């Protein structure tokens, strides 16, 4: 990958990405069709907010009721199941006051703003890279598949990235009180922030823990008052239901990144439910190991940027539900590693990660016609690049780079 190619390829992909996003948003708005595909994932929280406004709390997590509503109000080609925490429906309420198409356009503009702010906040993780190769660095980030996917699907990942990076920046600036509040807002996708409390505990950031806990308690209290305990119970039941396991954890495993999904994609279809059921054990094991490493590195006084990078890599590998659009979280450890441990393994892993994510959907379509084990081409191979990045980060912290030439250049 020469310097010229690092400019040309991402530029070409970004141009194509812009054209595709405009087409994905514009065509459904212009075309008169029974079905449409405008921001299909955005339909889920918009539906939840609409149910809240209509007083249909008992049906908030009823997939059949949601699908019936979306068929009429959204005209989605397939159901988009709202399974986020209850307070997410409350947060989306302003957007449910307008038509779906108008709300989708507003959300797209908001997501773009979140991406711009996030990229700006990422600079301290790779100051030299941004100073000497700013344009190329930004091109690679914004032309990545997770950015395309979150914009095209209408996901919340741009907001969660901003909350994560913003919280880390506040921690690095010793603004603990605000950091705790920002991290607590990440409860819209709790699986992405699962290691944050342990990070704050390991670094003895008591003020951040306190404000985060108070914000979380306030969110729970407001949600309890507004929705009632029955809705919380319905949410948990939806997550534990066989339908969720089949439609999300198994059927969508091909586009998830964590180790639980990786094992599901390798298993024969008949074994997939059993493999998925033990995914919780994998999650617990990776989280436990990640927490142990976090506390060990914090005790040694390791660079906080390295510890946050470790926590995010562990989160990605452990999560039972981290889809390609949530992989924006990799920006933090990726930039940090290129800055401080630009080894051959790091470069190859990042290059593979970049291109594998872009061709994942194409591979999946091809694998649908193949018998097992030929379906292994559809396995979540991106997960292996995350493991290599973790190894390179660990080598850097221990002072044992795998690429002596790269090490000597730093």
Q: What are phi and psi of 56, to 5 degrees?
A: -95, 50
Q: To the nearest whole percent, how much of the chain has pLDDT over 70?
A: 90
CA dihedral sign, ordered 3, 8, 11, 16: negative
Helix (H, G, I), strand (E, B) or coil at 76: strand
Q: Which tens digits make up the pLDDT trace of 277-319? A: 787 888 999 999 999 999 999 999 999 999 999 999 999 999 8
| Interval 249-259 mean pLDDT | 81
pLDDT digits (tens, 9 = 90+) for 84-121: 999 999 999 999 999 888 999 999 999 999 999 999 99
Cite the beta strand spans of 189-315 per DSSP E. none
Mean pLDDT (whole number) for 265-281: 83
Ramachandran angles phi, psi of 373, nearest 5°: -95, 10
Share of the chain above pLDDT 90, in %: 54
Among 200, 252, 213, 298, which residue's Cα sits nearest to residue 81? 252
Residues 6+ apart with CB under 8 A from 76: 35, 36, 37, 40, 43, 70
pLDDT in the model for residue 170: 96
DSSP H/E element including 189: none
Contact 96, 103 (CB under 8 A): yes
Tell me the mean pLDDT in the region 374-384. Answer: 88
Give the range among 278-287, 371-380, 396-405 with minimum mean pLDDT: 396-405
The 3-class SS string of 227-245 reads HCHHHHHHHHHHHCCHHHH
What pLDDT does residue 1 have? Answer: 62
Ranking 73-77, 314-318, 380-384, 390-394 by mean pLDDT, the lowest is 73-77
Listed range (33-37, 188-192, 280-284, 340-344) with the worst mean pLDDT = 33-37
Q: Which of 31-40, 255-264, 312-321 has the lowest mean pLDDT?
A: 31-40
Whole-angstrom distance, CA of residue 86 vs CA of residue 99: 21
Residue 361 and residue 137: Cα distance in Å, rounded? 25
CA gap 348, 338 in Å, rounded: 11
Where is 52: in which H helix or E strand?
A: helix 43-53
User: pLDDT tens for residues 194-236?
Assistant: 999 999 999 999 999 999 999 999 999 999 899 988 998 999 8
pLDDT at 40: 85
Question: Taking the model in full, what pTM does it have?
Answer: 0.88
Burial 102-131 (b: 16+ CB within 10 A, else e): ebbbebbeebeebbeebbebbebbbeebbe
Among 239, 227, 190, CA closest to 212: 190
For residues 306 and 191, is the Cβ–Cβ distance under 8 A? no
pLDDT at 137 > cutoff 80: yes
């Amino acid at each position: 990958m020469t310097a010229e190619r690092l400019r040309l390829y991402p530029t070409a992909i970004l141009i194509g990405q812009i054209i595709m996003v405009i087409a994905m948003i514009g065509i459904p708005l212009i075309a008169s069709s029974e079905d449409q595909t405008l921001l299909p994932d955005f339909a889920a929280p918009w539906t939840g907010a609409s149910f809240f406004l209509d007083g249909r709390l008992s049906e908030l997590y009823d997939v059949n009721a949601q699908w019936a509503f979306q068929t009429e109000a959204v005209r989605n080609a397939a159901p988009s199941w709202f399974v986020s925490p209850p307070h997410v429906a409350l947060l989306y309420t302003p957007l449910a006051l307008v038509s779906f198409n108008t709300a989708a356009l507003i959300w797209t503009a908001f997501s773009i703003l979140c991406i711009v702010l996030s990229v700006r906040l990422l600079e301290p993780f790779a100051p030299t890279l941004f100073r000497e190769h700013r344009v190329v660095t930004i091109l690679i980030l914004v032309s990545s598949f997770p950015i395309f996917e979150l914009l095209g699907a209408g996901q919340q990942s741009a907001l969660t990235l901003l909350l994560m990076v913003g919280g880390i920046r506040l921690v690095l600036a010793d603004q603990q009180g605000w950091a705790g509040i920002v991290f607590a807002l990440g409860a819209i996708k709790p699986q992405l922030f699962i290691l944050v409390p342990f990070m704050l505990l390991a670094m003895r950031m008591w003020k951040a823990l306190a404000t985060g806990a108070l914000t979380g308690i306030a969110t729970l209290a407001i949600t309890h008052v507004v929705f009632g305990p029955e809705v919380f119970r319905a949410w948990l039941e939806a997550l534990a239901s066989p339908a969720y396991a089949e439609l999300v954890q198994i059927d969508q495993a091909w586009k998830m990144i964590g180790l639980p999904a990786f094992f599901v994609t390798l298993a024969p279809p008949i074994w997939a439910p059993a493999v998925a059921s033990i995914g919780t054990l994998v999650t617990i094991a990776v989280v436990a190991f990640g927490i142990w490493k976090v506390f060990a590195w914090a005790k040694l006084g390791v660079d906080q940027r390295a510890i946050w990078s470790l926590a995010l890599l562990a989160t990605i590998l452990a999560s039972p539900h981290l889809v390609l659009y949530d992989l924006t979280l990799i920006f933090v450890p990726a930039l940090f590693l290129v800055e401080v441990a630009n080894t051959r393994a790091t470069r190859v892993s990042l290059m593979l990660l970049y291109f594998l994510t872009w061709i994942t959907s194409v591979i999946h379509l091809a694998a649908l016609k193949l018998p097992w084990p030929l379906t292994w081409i559809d396995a979540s191979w991106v997960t292996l690049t995350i493991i290599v990045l973790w190894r390179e980060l660990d080598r850097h912290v221990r002072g044992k780079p795998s690429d002596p030439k790269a090490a000597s250049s730093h």
